[in-house]
Amino acid sequence: MILYYYPGACSLAVHMALIEAGLDYTLISITHEKKTEDRRDFLSINPKGYIPALALDDGEVVTENMVILNYIAEISGKLLPQTNILRWRSLEALAFMSSEIHGSYAPFFRNFPETEKERAREKLARAFSLLDNQLGDKNYLICEELTIADFYLFWVLMASARTGLELTKGLQSYYARMKLLPSVARALNEEGLS
């Protein structure tokens, strides 16, 4: 498999999950000009132009973080609880982070007016509060086992630095614990972020 990524972008969640699941992969970075590191047109690989994109061994390309993370869990048999409700809670958390948090980061990654940023901060503060409550005193977001939701949450928390919001103590502790996982440390190193 080939993971098309940008260092430190949301594709990091997929990168960490591939490592944790023990799957073989090749990394190819994408430039802001939508070129691969070997100068191919990324739009010919993924017409949406977004990362991550995961090229499967049969040539198919899967896109969208939630879908790729679920694909990794399904083919590896890891990172998604087998207990029915916990499985759905993992997918629910992915959807929440994708729609309510990831989407709210747009004003901080582009040149939006301060009023837009302040509205986004308010929405993010509510979302982080909900995640903090969901985490509670568990080691991981959904249950006491690592799931695909944890990798997306790690990236969400890492990217939150651009917002100016201070994370709760619980989320700060969680982020620090996650950073110590071998799969997280390896992905950060491979992307030049450590």
pLDDT digits (tens, 9 = 90+) for 150-181: 999 999 999 999 999 999 999 999 999 999 99
Reading the block at residue 185, the tokens are 């440390």
* Four-CA torsion 136, 142, 148, 154, nearest 10 degrees: -10
* pLDDT tier, 130 (very low <50, low <70, confident <90, very high otherwise): very high
Quote the CA–CA distance of 118 and 123 in Å, as a whole number: 9
Give pLDDT, residue 84: 86
Instruction: Say if residue 139's pLDDT is above 90.
Output: yes
Reading the block at residue 182, the tokens are 């071998």
- pTM of the complete model: 0.95
Cα 47 from chain centre: 21
Give pLDDT, residue 6: 96
Q: What is the CATH number of domain 2-77+184-190?
A: 3.40.30.10
Instruction: Say if residue 21's pLDDT is above 90.
Output: yes
Quote the CA–CA distance of 160 and 140 in Å, as a whole number: 18
Domain with CATH 1.20.1050.10 in the chain: 84-181
Tell me what the mean pLDDT of segment 26-47 comes to.
Answer: 96
Choosing among 1.20.200.10, 1.10.10.10, 1.20.1050.10, 3.40.190.10, the CATH entry for 84-181 is: 1.20.1050.10
Q: Which residues pair with 41 in a beta bridge?
A: 35
Tell me what the mean pLDDT of segment 63-80 comes to.
Answer: 97
Closest listed residue to residue 17, CA positions, set 63, 62, 88, 65: 65
Domain with CATH 3.40.30.10 in the chain: 2-77+184-190
* Four-CA torsion 79, 85, 90, 91, nearest 10 degrees: 110
Average pLDDT of the chain is 96
pLDDT digits (tens, 9 = 90+) for 72-121: 999 999 999 988 899 999 999 999 999 999 999 999 998 899 999 999 99
Give pLDDT, residue 82: 86
Quote the CA–CA distance of 156 and 105 in Å, as a whole number: 9
